[in-house]
Structure 1
Amino acid sequence: MSALPSPEDVKSARLITEAEWKKFRLDRQKLSAADIESVGGVNGVLLDYQKKLLATTAAHRVTVCEKSRRTGATWAVAADAVLTAASEKAARGMDVFYIGYNLEMAREFIDTCGEWATIFQHGAAEVDEYLFEEEPGKAVKAFRIRFASGFQIIALPSRPRSLRGMQGYVIIDEAAFHDDLKELMKAALALLIWGGRVLVISTHNGVGNYFNTLVTQARGGNGYGLVRFDFDDALHDGLYRRVCMRSGDEWSLDAEAAWRKGVIGDYGEAADEELYCIPSEGDGVWLPAPLIEARARKGIPVLRLERPNEFTHWRADLREADVRDWCERELLPLLRELDPALPHFLGGDYGRISDLTVLWPLAISRTMRRLTPFVVEMRNIPFDQQRQVLKYICDRLPRFSASKHDATGLGMSTAEFAVQTYGELRTEAVMLNIPWYRENAQPLKTAFEDDMIEVPFDLDIHSDLRLLVVKNGVPQVPALKSGVMKNRHGDAAVALMLAYAATRALVALYDYESARTLRESTRGEDTADAEDMKLPHEGLY
């Protein structure tokens, strides 16, 4: 299977127009627009590129698959897993071990396997959630399905030691995003000795990622099976037809071309890597798209304030009144809904014309999850009104505990205002640099991985989070634009990182107790000379 127009020229594939795409689709098979809907075996259960993947895993002990995002590869692999585990030993049946990089992937794969088992009418027990003992005295959550053959499908955590002592077919999904793929592969390859198989499947995550090394080795002829399909390959084989079958929409070549353009636009600069199997320069994407999507929650408002250029030249009192009306109309109802018992924090990243100003509050729930109540984005707003919105929010955040603000470049003025207004005890002006990112980026990523944070279900914010790449081991904002309209620069990602860093700061919050209350709590012991004396009371968050 070759890409459209070709693997060597794949970078231009995402730049072709809708009309050019339609011409490619017609010329490749010399079919009419009416006939093209039958291309790719769309009447079958699996599309052609999915069939090729399963045929390759059957023929090779180790298979490496580089793929586009959202093409149903894992869905097809789940069918392979069921057919393998449901078969008797004489028919090459064996246990199947699925390893994703987070718990949601594991559960989703097992659920998909259950659906395939029903379709194939293979007897399988219900999904079993249990504690898998990695080593004596240490257990982690895992999922499995048992079959009448005596074999089972088990979704294991992404740790090399999980495979020690196992035997069977290992599937490492989205391999480029595992913490230690090299060690995981060493553990998986040991299963080959007694007839096991290994499938390594992923989108790319940088040229320096070990997954790209595996692809290069397989392409160099080391005996591994290699499968590659990009977004256009999947479309040619009937991906959009399958999407229409599920959604109930009517397929047409015009609709497919428009859909293709929209998907590529959604991914922006990340399309080469996410859709066309071209690893990015540097060590790779910092937050993979599936992880961002897993933490996204619908219903979290993203408020966007923008004014025309002439707004800057309005009288100060008119500008202030306009923004105050916006705050009372848009912000105040949200602020009144916040839980007064939870501590609240804030991160601010500041811009003026080309970049956004983003204010990102976070609350810490009783289970220590970081909750996003809303996000505010401002474009082309004068600095005075940016500070007005910032103060409006901070003055009304319940138990406002700490904030961190970008003090580099244009952010210095507003960051200084925040420190002067709320004090150095709970406010920090941050000079964003490599050491700061090195110290504060990983805790935020860990929160994503451990399901300890919620972010808005918003395409532009997702684009900002995807923009960050790792270079020399440190997440950085590249010189690229993000967002649907390419008018952002990772602004929301920086604001979130600042907000999360604020939630991790040990902040001394001062409250007061009267001497009478303090004496009563200490059973009448004299702790002050005057009953009305106020004493500081500290609490750490």
Structure 2
Amino acid sequence: MASSSPAITLYPYQQKWLQDESRFKIGMFARQTGKTFTSTLEIVMRCMEAEAIGRKERWVILSRGERQAKEAMDEGVKRHLKAFQMGFEALEYEYEGSFKALEVTMPGGSRITALPANPDTARGFSASVFLDEFAFHQDSRKIWQALFPVISAGHRLRVVSTPNGKGNKFYDLMTASDDAWSKHVVDIYEAVRQGLPRDVEGLRRALNDPDGWAQEFELQWLDEASAWLSYDLISACEHEGAGFSDLYQGGPCFVGNDIARRNDLWVAWVLEQVGDVLWTREIVALKRATFAEQDAVMDELFKHYKIVRWAMDQTGMGEKPTEDAQRRHGESRVEGVLFTATNKQNLATLGKQAFEDRKIRNPMGDPEIRNDLHKLRKVTTAMGSIRFEADSDSAGHADRAWACFLAIYAASGNPGPLDFEIAWERQTEPLLAGFF
């Protein structure tokens, strides 16, 4: 393959990836090291070379969602084509009536299409394929099963990602002991050593999340055994349409509210019920906000959404905010929940079931939300009892996770407020009874 344009600066690890002619090629790269940029450059160059000798190339880019597919097309493919001063025609259309496809056609007929990944889009073409951030694709194993007939007729396959736990096909491919794949691994330290201009220590301090740093920059396969929600489970419930208040459909809403005043976060997590699925419409996180400011946010949310039930942390300092909220909005709509060990276990169990059953949709690609949900751990004490722990850092103390679980509980159909110090501790049926 011809060398790249002098106007494009490539670091040695990018050049190595670009010059690797293997049919099956997989790369595990740290975040923001240019993996998508380099992979789309290879696609464009292969198309240009084919057209120079009168052939056509057909490539499909499968990304984790429509936003990521658009980014690969706009910031990758189109950017490279313009840099090479290559003419092309851009097209956008509905694929199979459900997905937005972005496509460019070059003068000689070569085509590059970018789509959100799922088993249906994976099997719809005969082409070379680029799987972008494959570890974060929902149903990655089903996508993989659907994909191989697509590339069986001599086409190429490119797979790149950062790690996302061990429960996905990307982990299987990277850790398999075989020589079918040409494998590239570049963590943040190696990328910087080869010239990438990044302040490693500055990034680490700014992230302030050891697990997030280990996974996304050091490329470690995190031990998911103690995590209550695995990264794979969290990613499977992410959706591009979640997290936007302007997409609220006017349906019944349920809110979970974790209370804090100084060190941790005050979080209100708003869920709208659409059919049998709970869609996250808004997540408000405040740090060191006054109680008056917290009350003002709560009142605004009550005005904007049709809130059927608001479940809030009544523990400790939450007593007065709960009492005040019930006075303003009614005890039938505001419920206080004491965070006893039993209650936390019931809330966590209820929340996990919603994730396992895919009954919740959360914002896609938000590292703060993902890491907060993942940091909650189930711990068995020496006496055999269960407790839930989370490291406290600048991003909170799993405050978003508890707000999410409270919102799921609020939507679970529980008939009314409970005396959590007495009634809940005596109950024989778990909260999960009657869920959805």
- Counting only pairs closer than 5 Å after superposition, residues 322-401 of structure 1 correspond to structure 2 as 346-351=255-260, 356-360=264-268, 362=270, 372=282, 375-378=285-288, 386=291, 391=295, 393-395=297-299, 397-398=302-303, 401=307
Among 326, 330, 351, the alignment partner of 1:437 is: 351
CA distance in 1, matches of 2:415, 2:91: 43
Deviation, structure 1 residue 129: 0.6
User: Which structure 2 residue ranges, 5 or more long, are not aligned?
Assistant: 1-5, 225-229, 273-277, 338-342, 378-386, 417-436
Distance change >3 Å, CA 493–CA 377, structure 1 → 2: farther
Are the counterparts in 1 of residues 141 and 168 from structure 2 also a CA contact under 8 Å?
no
**Letter paired with 2:104:** I
Please list the CA deviations of residues 383-416 of structure 1 after superposition, one character each: whole Å capped at 9, or x if unmatched: xx85x66555545642663443354864774686
Within the candidate set 174, 178, 191, 2:133 is matched to: 174
Find the counterpart in structure 1 of residue 185 from structure 2.
Answer: 228
- Segments of structure 1 that go 5 or more residues without pairing to the other structure are 1-41, 241-255, 301-338, 380-384, 456-461, 509-541
Give a deviation string over 1:265-297, Cα, whole Å, max 9, x none.
233211010101101111436656xx8999889
Q: Compute the displacement of 1:151 (Å).
A: 1.9
Aligned counterparts of 1:427 and 1:75: Cα–Cα separation in 2? 49
1:212 and 1:94 mapped to 2: Cα distance? 29
Query: Aligned runs of 1:214-363 on 2, under 5 Å?
Result: 214-217=173-176, 220-240=177-197, 259-267=199-207, 268-269=209-210, 270-282=212-224, 283-284=230-231, 346-351=255-260, 356-360=264-268, 362=270
Q: 1:448-485 deviations in whole A, cap 9, x for unaligned?
A: 24x9xxx9xxxxxx53542322999xxx986333326x
Paired with 2:233 and 2:271, the residues of 1 have a C-alpha distance of 24
Partner amino acid for 2:16? K
Q: Distance in 2 between matches of 1:186 and 1:345?
A: 38
1:75 maps to amino acid: F
TM-score normalised by L of structure 2 = 0.71
**Paired amino acid for 1:124:** F
Among 361, 365, 368, which residue is 1:446 paired with?
361
Equivalence for 2:391: 480
For residue 115 of structure 1, what is the aligned residue in structure 2? Answer: 79
1:157 Cα shift? Answer: 2.6
Give me the TM-score of the superposition, normalised by structure 1. 0.58
Partners of 1:407 and 1:415 within 8 A in 2: no
Within a 5 Å distance, the mapping from 1:415-434 to structure 2 comes to 417=323, 420-421=326-327, 422-430=329-337, 431-432=343-344, 433-434=347-348
Amino acid paired to 1:83 = M
Residue 27 (structure 2) aligns with: 65
Partner of 1:162: 121
- For residues 77-127 of structure 1, the C-alpha deviation after alignment (integer angstroms, 9 at most, x for no partner) is 1111112233437688521110111100111111121110111233311x2
- 2:60 and 2:114 in contact (8 A); partners too: yes
Is the contact between residue 477 and residue 490 of structure 1 (CA under 8 Å) also seen in structure 2? no
Q: Distance in 1 between matches of 2:391 and 2:232?
A: 13
Please give the residue correspondences for 1:72-221 in structure 2 after superposition, counting only pairs within 5 Å: 72-88=34-50, 94-111=57-74, 112-125=76-89, 127-133=90-96, 138-164=97-123, 166-217=125-176, 220-221=177-178
Aligned residues: 374
Native 8 Å contact 1:65 1:201 kept in 2:
yes
Task: Report the Cα distance in structure 1 between the residues aligned to 2:163 and 2:85, rounded to whole angstroms.
Answer: 35
Q: Measure, in 2, the Cα distance between the counterparts of 1:406 and 1:345.
A: 11
The CA RMSD over aligned residues, in Å, is 4.3
Q: Given that residues 188 and 198 in structure 1 are in contact (C-alpha distance below 8 angstroms), is that contact kept between their aligned partners in structure 2?
A: no
> Which protein has the larger Cα radius of gyration, Structure 1 or Structure 2?
1
